[in-house]
Every structure is written in structure tokens, then in C-alpha cells.
Structure 1
Amino acid sequence: MRRTDGTSEARGTGTEPGRPRTDKPALWLWSQYLLDAAAWVVAILLALVLRYELIVNDINAEGVVVFCAAAVVAQLFVGLSFALYRGRYSFGSFHEAKLLVIVTVIVSVLLVLISVAFFTVIEIPRSIGIIAFPFACIFLASTRYLKRMYVESKARPGENAQRTLIYGAGFLGNSLVSRMMQDPESPYFPVGLIDDDPAKKHLRLATVPVLGRLEDLPEVVARTRPSVLVIAFSDVEAATVRRVSDLVAGLNIKVLVLPPLREMLDAGSGLSDFREVAVEDLIGRRPVDIHADEVSGYITGRRVLVTGAGGSIGSELCRQLAGFHPAELIMLDRDETGLQTTQISLTGRGLLTGRDTVLADIRDADTLLNIFEDRRPEVVFHAAALKHVSLLEQYPEEAWKTNVQGTVNVLRAAAAAGVTNFVNISTDKAADPTSVLGHSKRVAEKVTAWHAASTGQKYVSVRFGNVIGSRGSMLPLFTEQIRSGGPVTVTDPEVTRFFMTIPEACQLVVQAGAIGRGGEVLILDMGEPVKILDVAQRMIAMSGKEVPIVFTGLRPGEKLHEDLVGVDENDSRPLHPKISHTPVAPLDPARLDLQEWKNRGSFTAVAQAGFPKTPQGRALS
């Protein structure tokens, strides 16, 4: 992407803001020296006139010529010594101004010494060098400032640039305005700034004024007629994005945001890499910080296996794990197309001929055991699962086969192969479960805790909420419904959910393997729950379409509000401020019996009653 300061990172032109664009930079530098020399001549003449109180007849003309020549030569040598004429600084900058003062002081001192040493010859008063100093500073700075104004006036964006408002007159806002105004090819022309700081009420940045506060946005838009509004904050809060979106609703303005600060600091990213507001910005999810040294310690150089590697979470997990350079990354899934897609994202090829992809079903215990004994993984991430609440309410036996028995199969194979780190991916629906999905994942957490106790290894579970962008999740469904003209279906006007991004979910999973203690469930602090109705309304507003919303009612097994931590669970955060640790009561897999469930009636009824019990009368969840 072309940067708004007029440079191209790919080409590496080296052009800097404020520096004249020319194929002959030496010509500009020497012309600047000639202007500086003339400035000294004028400064000396003005100092002489003032010193002699306008009686010019008393001035020694020959001595003045010699004195001016000395000043011109001194400016040249001192300026070259300090690289003033070698293009070290862009002209008109603060760095050049500081250097300019230093050079002028030295030249003035030399002139004083010359007038003292050769007074009898040139008859120039010793005070002339001192009197000329402030005038020289002003004249030297003025020529540079005028030249900068001329260059910047030529570098303004063209007529086709979009009129742009910038929210935020801080460092980023100042940088954006400067770069936009200095690039004639910039697609954005700043017409004003918005800032909530009262002290910036009369501020101007590169001639662009602060026109008001955020609450004045509709009035400012009416005055300036912009087509784009840029939010000039890195890691902007979701509440701010929502407020801006609400204020510009119906004004036909496109809202752009900057990428997170960590992305802006990466190579190839700049202040010009705007993007349109996404649902993630409105929801406000921000990835947790991984302690790379802890993570790499248990992944780097070890054999790592991921189940469900073809899914949304599994594939992103594989991509993140590959960055820690495991000795071998084994991707297991029963979906051959998903496996191929993940392999392509990692290697650029989808031949499916290597040992990195394994086609298998976690329901097949014997096959899993053979695979684990053959490949001998040391770290396992268990992402394979069935996850749709409504579908599993209709087919609860499938939840048993995959989420319960499939997890047991993976755990037994891992224990047999000597796996030291095992991370089971769970869901917030396992906290005080009311659905078949929630109960099946709750049992998976308990049998994982049992294997942690029996093996003495670090076997943990990770629990998080709705993952933005994962296959079958709510947001892609809303996107498709809006694209097709609606209606958008929402279960209840008051229903809320916790959200996180796919990268954030995978970061938590990887982090859990490093900081989790055997038998624990780790839970990410996902902030405040978000109303689904608000998300649907904002997505519709962002699309610019008129799409109706239909309320379908809560489906069997669904909660109005999800919980992250159950009523009987602890919420301690001993190692990471955003990750809770809670112990799980272990459950011996030998006590699981499908026939017992069947004998007690339908799975939906059992789920609502609190899950099946063993013949001894002890609850399994």
C-alpha cells in the first residue's frame, strides 16, 4: 500500500516529508547556502545601520565587504562541518532549526573574533557580530520556512481525494494529517479534526483545524461535507467505535480505523493502512498477550498433534503453533477438505501426501491408538468436536459419540503415548450446563481432569465463548442473511453472548498449555457480554441496507445469558490477569455408560434434569 507521506516502502526512495522532491538534491542544498549567505550579508548591513544609528557615512565600505565575505565563508565551512548542506535533516524541521541555531552562534563568535583581531584594518565594531546574530537566525529560518510552505502547497492531495475528517488530534492524528497533506497522490484530503480535549479547541495541525468535539460530529459533517471519517487511535475502544458509528448513521460517511499498535509496528505496516470498521471493533475483542518464552519452551522442538485441524479453531491453532517451530506438527481430522485447506495455508501446497496430515475419526479408538503409538506426539491440542446446540438437542447421541467418547479416546491414546501436555478445548456452555452440548463438554472437562490425575501430566481444558468468524457461528450467518436481503434472525431481544476472535481463542489455547496446571479449566476474561440484537442492528447499519429483524425465540437448551464460571467454581487468576483457573472434579471414564443414558429416556429430558446418574446414584456432571 502506498504510504500517505508520498514514499513507497517497496521502492525505498528515501524521500522524507518536508524534503523537496527533485532529481538534483545538491542543487537545492547549494541554493539554500546562497540564500543563507545573502541572509548574513543583510543581517550585517542591518546591524551596521543600527549600530551607527542610521549614519551610513561613518561605515567603512571596504571593511564591510571583507567582513561580509568572512561571514559567507564562515557559514560555508561551519555549515559543512555540521552537515547542514549535506541533506542530513529535512528542511524546516525542528532538528534542522536546532542545528541552525548552533551554526549561527558559531559563525557569530567567529565574526566577533575577526572584528577584534582586525579592527584596525576593517574598522568594523566588535558588537556587529552580536547584533547581526538574531537577524541572521530569523533570515536563515525564514527562507527555510517559506520554502517548506511552497513545497507543501505543491504536495497537497489532488482534486479527486476524498474529503476526510479525523477523530483524534493527538500524535497519530497529527501524523495522519501531515502525511495526507504532503502526498499529492493521497486518496484522502483532511478537512478538519475532531477531539474531545477542550485544550485543543483552537488547534491547527498542518493548517487543518480542530472543529469540535465528538458530540459536535453531525454539525461538523454538515459544514465540511466529508465522505470519510478516520478514527486516529490505535487499539480504539469498542464503545468509542459504537458511538462514532451511531453519530454518523445515515450521513453517508465511511468510518475507517487504524490497525492495532502491534500491527502498525510490524514491517510493512504504516499509518496509512486504514480499514473499515469490522464487527470485531464494535464488539471490542482484543487478543491476550502470549508470553512467548513460556510458550516456546513446551512447543519448540517437540512433536505436536492437533485434532480437528481442519476446523476454524484447529486450522488457526496449527498456523500459530507452526510459528513456534515444533519438531513435527501433526494435523488430524476426518474432513479431508478441511485438512487440505489448512495444509495450503501453512505450506502453500495441498498435496496431502506428507506425514503432516492424518485422516482419522476420533470416534475410532483403535485407529487413534495406532496413530499415537506410531507418531508419538508429546503435546496434543484437542479441538475436534460437535458444537451446534440445536442440532445436538435433536441428535444427542452424536454428542456422546464425539464430544464425550471421542475425547476419552483421544485422552487414552495420549496417555498410552506418554503425552506430557494435553489441552482440551471446551465452551462456556459447560458452565452450569443446560444443553446437550454443554453437558457433553462438561463431561469432557471432567474426564480430562481424571487423566491429569492418573498420568500426573499437564492435562487441562480451556473454556471460551462464541468465536467470531468460526464456521457455523452467528456472525457469518448474519452476514449471509444481510447479503441475501434478510430477514436477520435473532432468538430474543435480550439474549447476550460472550465473544472472542479466532486468533484470540487460539492464543488462549496455546497459553493454557504453558501456564495451566493439571486438572484445571482455564477461562478467558472476555469482558462484558454483548447483546445479539445490538450486533445485528450494527451489522445491518454497516451494510447500508434495509433488512428486517425477526425474533425466533430461544431454542431448546439455549440460555438467555451465558456464564463463564459456574456457580460452584472458583475464579482465581494466579498467573495471568485475563485468565481464570478453576479446578474440575475428575470423572473416571470407566463409569460412563451410554446404555444407562438410554434407559433414562431422551437426552434432551436428561439434560434438562441435570444429566444421567450412575446406578450408585452419583451425578456424572
Structure 2
Amino acid sequence: MTQTDNQSSDPGENRDDSAARTDKPALWLWSQYAFDSLAWIVAILLALILRLELLVNQVNIPGVVVFCAVAVVAQLIIGMSFALYRGRYAFGSFHEAKLLVIVTVIVSVILLLVSVALVTVLEIPRSVGIIAFPFACMFMASTRYLKRMYVESKAKPGDDAQRTLIYGAGFLGKSLVTRMMQDRESPYFPVGLIDDDPAKKHLRLATVPVLGRLEDLPDIAHRTHATALVIAFSDVEAAQVRRVSDLVAGLNIRVLVLPPLREMLAGGGENGLTDFREVAVEDLIGRRPVDIHADEVAGYIAGRRVLVTGAGGSIGSELCRQIAEYAPAELIMLDRDETGLQSTQISLTGRGLLTGRDTVLADIREAETLRNIFVDRKPEVVFHAAALKHVSLLEQYPEEAWKTNVLGTLNVLRAAEAAGVSNFVNISTDKAANPTSVLGHSKRVAEKLTAWNAQSVGRKYVSVRFGNVIGSRGSMLPLFTEQIRVGGPITVTDPEVTRFFMTIPEACQLVIQAGAIGRGGEVLILDMGEPVKILDVAQRMIAMSGKDIEIVFTGLRKGEKLHEDLVGIDEDDSRPLHPKISHTRVAALDPGMLDLRDWKVKGGIEQYSDGMHPPTEKGA
């Protein structure tokens, strides 16, 4: 029998069964019953020959005919009673095999009882029904297995399918192999599996063998003439994708990955093999699974009014989409960018009319306007994502960083206090750890203001700090993509410069989680994994483009670091509640100490320390 144990894991066979039931269901089911009847007749004759030790002249022909007729009729009645001939089970599945054994056992018992009751009439030894049982089972299983082999041979991908290796011989790898081998329209034909588990060295899945470990990939690819490789892990570490990508470099092999598990589950798996996509640079530098404690998140978001500032931005819009999944009583999206607001609304509702109360057009620099909005809408949870973020631009215009990142954050904090907001999450940046730029110092002050407000109101007001977000507007990857599109050159500041990276969904997942576990005044630091060398990213993107692009080194700009920090000097890195979120604290800053002139002189442009002046001076 087959190793497929349910209908859903055997798409090719299911399609065949479905077609049979649709076109000629009765014909196929009755023909199967005919084969099963023949199996019983042959099994009984063999049992008689064995029982009588080849003395066939002692066989009572009429009695044998009646005995065979009883077996055939019993098989029909019992088989129909257990739906064996009603097309209820996937053909050749473990479910059908189990049912087949049950029906055969019952028929054997009936034959035994008949031979005992009519022993003098039929002259059939009582043991014939028992001896015939294994033969009948074997013959019935054989007809089904032969039919399955025929169907599978017909369902294999065509000659134009790509010869494909699959990395991962676990459950997902087995499912992929089965689907590929039993789908005539599949664009992929599996020629081998790769797995690092020594116990799977001689394993075969649907006749496809495990050919070796990942380190053997170049040799395996050469032997099998493969042109594609599928990484059969739903959530794969970026480091592993990089390793695979490096091993196949120069072998003319496409590397394909599956979407994250939550996307596969959300889509219901309807797309099947079309869910594959080629490795993107995001997979190479930041695709990591995130463990979200949904009960904690739902506890402070579900059924409550939630407001997001900067809702039209990259982070803010994704926050809105993820928050909406937890069924808040109301989601209020605030931004000064009407186009960004419309895009976020479209992504949530499919409409961009901007006529509902879910979108609010306002600038966080306007303290009175912001206060009135908060008092009117009465949000209970606030995510503050509005900010200016470009290092070089803010070095030229530090007052803009002051107005938005410092005073704007203070305006949001005061409005939240006036509205009685219970949970406040200020989104910060890794540049606030040991800051050297105007951006870093402005966000550091925002963290300190948040800590002061948490102490003042005694509520869960926290900051969340993380590094570069892949694909956000104005970030490195869109810039490199555009530079490659126009033919280069790609500009990199320094050959050794590194940065932390995280995808937008991952960052927002952890921001929402941080809002659940953070304690008032804390700064929560998201685990960004290992830092990635920017030069490596540029080189990989060039290789993936297939173009010959020059890389030009421009030197570090004012305020930029060679290597970013996530945790500042003298800051803790304890993770008491979540393995990817560190908890630390910063000194609270009284808003009364803020002073633009002093900040510009001693902080915003020249030398400064965390935006703070000595205790005897007034400043930020």
C-alpha cells in the first residue's frame, strides 16, 4: 500500500479519484468490486490446495462454488456497509487500507462460520476461510497498488518541468515531493532531496532519494543536472538562505523559498506550488520567525480604541494592518501625509475614500490640535510612529528633528496624558544607543521624555528600539534597487560598514508584543540578529540582477557610525519575558529642561551628550 495517509496529502491521486467519481464512478467502483471478488475466489482455491496438500481430486466442486459465492456476496454486503465501494475514501490511502483489512476479516469470519455450520454439505475444511484471509488481503491490496502506480506514472510532470532539488526531507519536503510527483502540470520535477540529518541518508520519499547533505550540494547539482532548488522550510533563517545561495553561486540554479508560515496558513495553501518565489535580498539579510504571544497582545488591544501616529509611513501602515487582526474597538490612523493615509486605508479596507473616522489628518507638531483630537477620540492605546528619520538630512536641518522628534513626541505624550491613554509605545531607533547623530540624539531625548511621562502618570508608557527596516521608504534596499536599475554605480559609505536589519512585519510584530510586556518607563530593544555588512548586500544584489555594476565608496557621512549599537553603554540587556526583547531603562527627562538654543549649541550640531546638559544648566 501507499505511504500517503490522507486525502489532502495526495493531490494527484485525489484528482484522479475525483475525475473517476465525476465521469464514471459506478463503473470504476463495480470494477474494483469485481477484482476483489476475483481475489477471494483465487484466495479460496489456493487455501484449498494448501489445506488438502495438493490432493485436488478431493475437492468438492459444488461446495467450492457455493463457498466462493458466499465470499463474493459477503464482500459486497460488508464492503457496501463500510462504504468501501462508495468512493468515500481516497483510493490507495491508509484509510482505505485499514477499511479493507476490517472488511476482509469480517468476510473471513463469515466463511469460517459457514464452513463450520455446513461442513457436511459443502465438504470444505473449516480452516480454509482463515488460510484464504491473507491471500485475499494481498491480492486486493495488489490491485489497488498497481492502479496507483499507473495513475502516478501518468501524473508525473512533463519533460519541460525543471529538474528540482529539495532542501529539507521533513514533513514539508515530503508534501512538496508528493505534490510535484502527482501533478502533471507541475513546473518542477523532483530529482533529489538534501537533508543534514544523518538518519535520513538512505530515505526515499515518493521514489525520490535523499542524495546527501547541504555541503554536498555542488556535487549533487552536477550529478542531477538540477536547475532549481527549493528550500523546504516555512520559516528559514537568513543565514541558512545565504549559505545555500553561496553554495549554488555559479551553478545556474534558481533558489526558491516558501512564504512565511503565517502567510501560508492565511492563504489556506490554495496556491500550492505557485507559492514558491525566488530568493529576494530580504531573505538573505532578515527573514526570521517571530514568536508572538497572541493572548498577551489581544489582552491590551482587542476591544480597545487604538491610535497610530505616522500611520501613512512604512512602519505605521504595517502596524495598522497587524493591529486590525486583533479586533480593536476602533483603529484611528493619524498622519499629516494624506497620500500615505489613503494607501494605508486601501490596504485595510480595499477603499481609499478617506471619508470615515478611521483616518485623521493632523501634524504632531501642532500641540493644541493634537490634544483636541485625543480628547475627542479618547484612544486607550497609542503607537507613536511619526518621526523624521534620515540621518544626513537631519544633520543639515537639526531644528526639524527638534520640532518633530522631540517636541512632536512631547505633544503626543501630553495629548495621551490628557486623554487618559493607558498604553503608549514610542517607536525609537538603534541610533539612540550611544548617539552620534542629530537623529540619534533627538530620538534619545524622545525616549527620555517617554520615561519621564511614564513616571508622571504612572502608566505603561514605553519606548521600543530597533535597527534598519528592510524595504521601508528611503531605506538602503530601495536605493540599491534603483541604482542597479539605472546601471549603477551603487554607493556604499565604507567597505566595513555594518547594519542591523529586520523586515517590516517582523519589526511591527515585536513592537506590538513589546507594548504588552513593557513596564512603564522602560526601553525595549528588539533582537536584530547579527549585523550585516552593507558591501555584502550590495554584491548579492548585483549578482542577483545579472548586471555588471560598479560599487563606489563615498565615506561615512557626518553623524554615521561604522557599526551601530542596539544597547547603549551602561544599559541592561536582560530578556525576562521574551527571547527577542531586551529590557533597559534611560534617565527620565523633565520637559521643563528642554531648550532649543542650548540643544543646538551643545547638542544638536556640535558636541553633546545624550541631549542632556550638566545638572546646573538648562537644556535637553
* TM-score, normalised by the number of residues in structure 1: 0.93
Corresponding residue SS for 1:372: helix
CA shift at 1:283, angstroms?
A: 1.9
Q: 1:18, CA displacement in angstroms? A: 6.8
Q: Rate the CA distance shift 1:166–1:586 in 2: closer, same or farther, 3 A.
A: same
Query: What secondary structure is seen at the aligned counterpart in 2 of 1:32?
Result: helix
Alpha-carbon shift at residue 33 of structure 1 (Å): 0.7
Give the structure 2 partner of residue 340 of structure 1: 342
Contact 2:444 2:611 (8 Å CA) reproduced: no
Query: Is the Cα–Cα contact under 8 Å of residues 13 and 90 in structure 2 kept in the other structure?
Result: no
Q: Who is 2:4 aligned against?
A: none
- Alignment-derived partner of residue 86 in structure 2: 86
- Asked whether the equivalents of residues 43 and 132 of structure 1 are also in contact (C-alpha less than 8 Å), the reply is yes
1:465-504 Cα deviation digits (max 9, x unpaired): 1111111111111222222222222222222211111112
Determine helix, strand or coil for the equivalent of 2:19. Answer: coil
Cα deviation, 1:241-294, whole Å, max 9, x if unaligned, reads: 111111111222211112233333335225532222122321243353333333
Contact kept? 2:162, 2:226, Cα under 8 Å: yes
Counterparts of 1:2-401 in structure 2, within 5 Å, are 16=14, 19=17, 21-22=19-20, 23-269=23-269, 271-272=272-273, 273-401=275-403
Instruction: For structure 1, list consecutive stretches of 5 or more residues without a partner in the other structure.
Output: 1-6
- 8 Å contact 2:455–2:520 — kept in the other structure? yes
- Where do residues 489-504 of structure 1 align in structure 2 (5 Å cutoff)? 489-504=491-506
Distance 2:458 2:201 in 1: 64
What amino acid is aligned across from residue 603 of structure 1 in structure 2?
G
Deviation for aligned residue 1:375 = 2.7
Instruction: Summarize the Cα distance change of 1:461–1:114 in structure 2 as closer, same or farther, 3 Å threshold.
Output: same
State the 1:151 CA deviation: 1.2
Query: What is the Cα deviation at residue 145 of structure 1?
Result: 0.6
Question: Which position in structure 2 is the counterpart of 1:574?
Answer: 576
What's 1:405 paired with?
Answer: 407
Structure 2: distance between partners of 1:571 and 1:240: 26
CA distance in 1 between counterparts of 2:619 and 2:287 reads 36
Which AA in structure 2 matches 1:348? G
Aligned-partner residue type, residue 21 of structure 1? A
Contact 2:13 2:151 (C-alpha < 8 Å) held by counterparts? no
Displacement of 1:38 in angstroms is 0.5
Residue identity opposite 2:293 in structure 1: H
Matched residues in 2 for 1:489 and 1:26: separation?
70
Whole-angstrom distance in 1 between the partners of 2:54 and 2:329:
87
After superposition, the C-alpha distances for 1:184-203 in whole angstroms (9 at most, x for unaligned) are 12222222222233343333
Q: CA 1:546/1:570 → structure 2, altered by over 3 Å: closer, same or farther?
A: same
Equivalent in the alignment of 1:440: 442
1:528 counterpart SS class: coil
Q: Structure 2: which amino acid aligns with 1:25?
A: P
**C-alpha separation in 2, matches of 1:54 and 1:175:** 48
Cα distance in 1, alignment partners of residues 132 and 474 from structure 2: 77
> Which residue among 543, 546, 567 is the counterpart of 1:541?
543
Give the match's secondary structure for 1:16. Answer: helix
Determine the C-alpha separation between the residues in 1 that align with 2:180 and 2:89.
21
Structure 2: how far apart are the matches of 1:186 and 1:543? 26
Cα RMSD between the aligned structures?
Answer: 2.4
Q: CA deviation at 1:79?
A: 1.6
C-alpha distance in structure 2 between counterparts of 1:93 and 1:68, whole Å: 28
Task: Tell me the distance in 2 between the aligned counterparts of 1:169 and 1:523.
Answer: 36
Alignment size in residue pairs: 609
Residues 315, 342 of structure 1: 8 Å contact kept: yes
Identify if the C-alpha distance between structure 1 residues 599 and 321 changes in structure 2 by more than 3 Å, giving closer, same or farther. same
Query: Mind listing any 5+ residue stretches in structure 2 that lack a counterpart?
Result: 1-6
CA distance in 2, matches of 1:597, 1:236: 45
Give the Cα–Cα distance (whole angstroms) in 1 for the partners of residues 292 and 57 of structure 2: 80
Taking every aligned residue pair, what percent have the same amino acid on both sides? Answer: 81
Displacement of 1:617 in angstroms is 4.2
Contact map agreement 1:303 1:379 (CA 8 A) in 2: yes
**Is the contact between residue 168 and residue 193 of structure 2 (CA under 8 Å) also seen in structure 1?**
yes
Contact in 2 for aligned 1:373/1:416 (Cα 8 Å): yes
Q: Is the 8 A contact 1:591 1:614 kept in 2?
A: no
The question of whether the paired residues in 2 share the 8 Å contact of 1:287 and 1:503 is answered with no
TM-score (normalizing by structure 2):
0.93
SS in 2 for 1:21: helix
SS in 2 for 1:184: coil
SS at match of 2:606: helix
- Residue aligned with 1:255, SS: strand
Partner Cα distance (1:180, 1:287) in 2: 26
1:18 and 1:90 in contact (8 A); partners too: no
For residues 513 and 199 of structure 2, the distance between their equivalents in structure 1, rounded to whole angstroms, comes to 43
Contact 1:379 1:419 survives alignment (8 Å): yes
